[in-house]
Amino acid sequence: MTDKRTAILEATLTLISERGFHDTPMSLIAKTSGVSAGIIYHYFANKEELINELYKEIKLDLLRVTLADYAEDLSLKERFDGIWHNYVSYSLNNSTKVLFLDQFENSPLVKHVEEDFTEVVAPFFQLFGQGLEEGVFISLPPLVLYELSFAPATALIKRHFAGILKMDAELIQAIADACWNAIIV
């Protein structure tokens, strides 16, 4: 049974990345996944729920990989570097998923699921909170520090996917250092 659910989610990801949310009808998802429309509705009440579930699975996978080496006994810089490099590595190796996340997060759909990640993203905000308490980071809200750290990476990864920029190891490290320098005192 989970194979069918997985097939549905994979077909949805592929089709949305090629056609967008609105030009991906349930009938095409059924055809591409090799299941009937009835089977899709067995797993998902509607297209919005299907897209939200796909988003949740991809987002949780990204966060799990990004935080894989996170340990509070490491220095702030080591924790920052670890999560930053894990994020970039995952993104560069999962272009379809990352572009789907970007498309979803810039759509009205995101308000329905964002609250599901509060506990999972806690280490990010613990890192930024500690850095603020210790006077290492500039005095901005943790969410702003997060965006200053990861939004540039996301934007440059999209440029890499478009062939405008080649992100090699040397450039990736330079960008990581620049993002760190953007948030420290």
Q: Tell me: the pLDDT tens digits for 126-136?
A: 999 999 999 99
> Is the confidence at residue 1, as pLDDT, over 60?
no
Q: What is the average pLDDT across 101-124?
A: 81
- Mind spelling out the 3-state secondary structure of 36-61? CHHHHHHHCCCHHHHHHHHHHHHHHH
pLDDT of residue 136: 98
pLDDT of residue 52: 92
The region that residue 20 occupies, defined by phi over 0 for left and psi between -120 and 50 for alpha, beta otherwise, is left
Q: What is the average pLDDT across 58-68?
A: 96
User: Could you tell me which of 9, 28, 40, 21 has the C-alpha nearest to residue 109?
Assistant: 21
> Is the confidence at residue 110, as pLDDT, over 70?
no
| Residue 39 exposure: Cα atoms within 13 Å on the Cβ side | 18
Q: What is the average pLDDT across 88-93?
A: 98
Confidence of residue 105 (pLDDT cuts 50, 70, 90): confident
pLDDT of residue 114: 63
**What amino acid is encoded at 173 in this protein?**
Q
Confidence of residue 115 (pLDDT cuts 50, 70, 90): low
> Is the confidence at residue 163, as pLDDT, over 80?
yes
